[in-house]
Structure 1
Amino acid sequence: MNRRFTLEILDTITDPGKPGRPNEDRFGFNDCAAFVLDGATGLGDRQFMGGFGSDAAWIAEFAASRLSERLDGSIDPAAVLRQISSEARSAFLTAAGDQPRYAWPLCSLTALRATDAGFQYFGLGDSCLYVLHDDGTSDFLIPIPGAYEWEQQQAARHIARLGGIGLIRGDQTDPVTLEELRRGRALQNTPDGITWTFGIVPEAADHIFRCDVPLRGGGAYAILCSDGLADLVALYKAYDAPGLVRQAMDKGLPSLVEELRRLERETDPEGLTFPRFKQSDDTTAVLLRLTDQAASSASSAAVVGT
């Protein structure tokens, strides 16, 4: 079927933050959509869903496999997410029984799809989209504006109290930080909280952020990514939004992950300069080419007629 608006996958990458630990990120795509899911590190006392390394990896995989099959250019994404979340809730509660809300698995979602009317972005949580249009302008889209700055502030408090990431071997070994994280996690996907993510709360689908992404100049390159890769812009300030996309276009996504790992593990392994809860985070990204075929055809016709 001929489509006016097309989405092409140019490159993908997913890389665990630490060797030997499960990668809790996932990505997926089909002929009209692409997405990235970032599982939130579990805060419970044990794992309930076997076979994936963690409950966070399970929920990300559960969503990714079903979104690839069900998401198209016309269906309401909220309806798709609500149904998948209902299925995930049933599976988790059957296996885990009654658990505190902070132990419920969840993940962020960033997604882009081509519809008959153009490109539509939607998401939940703190994964994001960078767009570099053919006219040189750029966009940055995230369901929770200010999420990265807020997390950096919380991590800075944590680092100041404990003296560095290496000294504490991860945020969950500190009872004060763990209690704060559990309190915040329990408020997610509730009317009393401010954060909506994908997980086992179907009504979170009613709170997805969505917007149109009009192309400027007839086309664009874009990166869908988890917050791991976004740290190159938001935390380390190694790139601005258009610079990140250009680097991916010129050198490939692996070059960005290599640079990120150097910053995390060599430049600032303790998080003293760039505060964060983990030395290295799982990192996933999809590089896309977005095209308006009508605009491209018009541009070609103008060149031929000149």
Structure 2
Amino acid sequence: MFTVLDRISWPGSPDKANEDACGASDDWAWVIDTSIFPGTEPIMNDRSDATWLARFVSERLSDLAARAYDGDGVTLLRHVMEEARTAFMARAAEERHDFLTWPVGAMTLVHRNGNMLDVWTFADTTAFVRQPDGSVLTVGEAPDLRTFESAKAAELLSASGCTPKTVNESPVFQAWLTDRRQRQKQGRGLALLGLDPAAADRLRHQSVPCEDGTVILLTSDGFSALVDLYAEMDAKGLMEAALISGLEPLAARAREIETQVDPGGKLYPRFKESDDTTAILLRA
């Protein structure tokens, strides 16, 4: 069973909905980071359908994970995604049955099975796993995806003349995002959490040691940016800081970099000035 040591979830801006979520139940834990195509009007939530998806999945995992599926994360997530699709389609008008406007997301789901930890990942959320000897493993695709996304952000910021705060309104960004969503619809892009249950079959899976005393930090990319974008510290330093001082000072440092050190995205090219910042710290 996991003990929750700390958790945090901050919206990227007080003017926008927080589209992240995290949680834990028995031997399961998760972090979720969702998004929606810019300008899409919400139907499931007053502010954002991405917020609805993150909360829906987190709540259903809390209800189902600890009492079903025998450690099968793929089947569990497929079931929850089927429920999300059914709920969304029951409310959406016919013209909204369009993949482009559906909420999607990244996610890391972990399950402790004896002295092993199963980690299932959609896209760029991360599991940092600190072994009892102090060594730290980074599990997930976030570092490689960050390299690609930062390069693309630099390209689109230059082409549009925008800043991270305004780039998602630009035609070049929306054209790129539309193309990416279309490739995902055709099964050629990243598998994502969302309303397509078949995506569960393309979850990344990895198993790592998890003896008693192992500490696990699950993060959205807005939090892992301290390591994989801002290079403020390495994974081991991040875990040590989280254990010593908690998660809030780390989230605050990310905000300081984004809003004071590099709001224009010159040092750290990105698609948002400040992203939603979510993490949950657990001990096995």
- Aligned pairs for 1:123-142 (under 5 A) are 123-142=121-140
Provide Cα deviations, 1:17-40, integer angstroms capped at 9, x if missing partner: 001210000111112111110012
Preserved contact between residue 42 and residue 56 of structure 1 (Cα < 8 Å): no
Aligned equivalent of 1:24, options 3, 19, 24 = 19
SS at match of 2:107: strand
Q: Which letter maps to 2:148?
A: W
Structure 2 equivalent of residue 245 of structure 1: 239
Question: What's the offset of the Cα at 1:16?
Answer: 0.4
Alignment match of 2:84 (pick from 80, 85, 88): 88
**CA-CA distance at 1:189 after TM superposition:** 5.2
CA contact (8 A) 2:45 2:51 kept: no
Structure 2 CA distance, aligned partners of 1:164 and 1:127? Answer: 26
Larger radius of gyration: 1
CA deviation vs aligned residue, 1:125-150 (integer Å, no higher than 9, x gap): 21011122121221101146611111
Please give the TM-score of this superposition, normalised by the length of structure 2. 0.92
Checking the alignment, whether the CA contact within 8 Å between 1:39 and 1:56 is kept in structure 2 is: yes
CA contact (8 A) 1:131 1:241 kept: no
> Equivalent residue for 1:294?
none
Aligned to 2:251, the other structure's residue is in SS state helix
Unaligned runs of 5+ in 1: 1-5, 291-306
* CA-CA distance at 1:190 after TM superposition: 3.4
Find the aligned partners of 1:8 and 1:138 in 2 and give their Cα distance.
19
Question: 1:194, CA displacement in angstroms?
Answer: 2.7
* 1:43–1:102 CA contact under 8 A, matched in 2: no
Pairwise CA distance, 1:248:
0.5
What is the CA–CA distance in structure 2 between the aligned matches of 1:13 and 1:228, rounded to whole Å? 12
In the alignment, residue 110 of structure 1 is paired with which amino acid? Answer: T
Q: TM-score, normalised by structure 1?
A: 0.86
- C-alpha deviation, 1:117, in angstroms: 5.3
SS, match of residue 110 in structure 2:
strand
Q: Do the aligned residues in 2 keep the contact of 1:44 with 1:102 (CA within 8 Å)?
A: no
Question: Percent identity among equivalent residues?
Answer: 33
Q: Which runs of 5+ in 2 are unaligned?
A: none
Contact 2:143 2:228 in 1 (8 A): no
Following TM superposition, the consecutive aligned residue runs of length 4 or more in structure 1 with deviations greater than 4 angstroms are none
1:102 and 2:92 correspond = no
Aligned length: 280
Query: 1:250, 1:98 → 2: CA distance?
Result: 51
CA RMSD of aligned residues (A): 1.8
Structure 1 distance, partners of 2:281, 2:185, is 29
User: The residue matched to 1:36 in structure 2 has which SS?
Assistant: strand
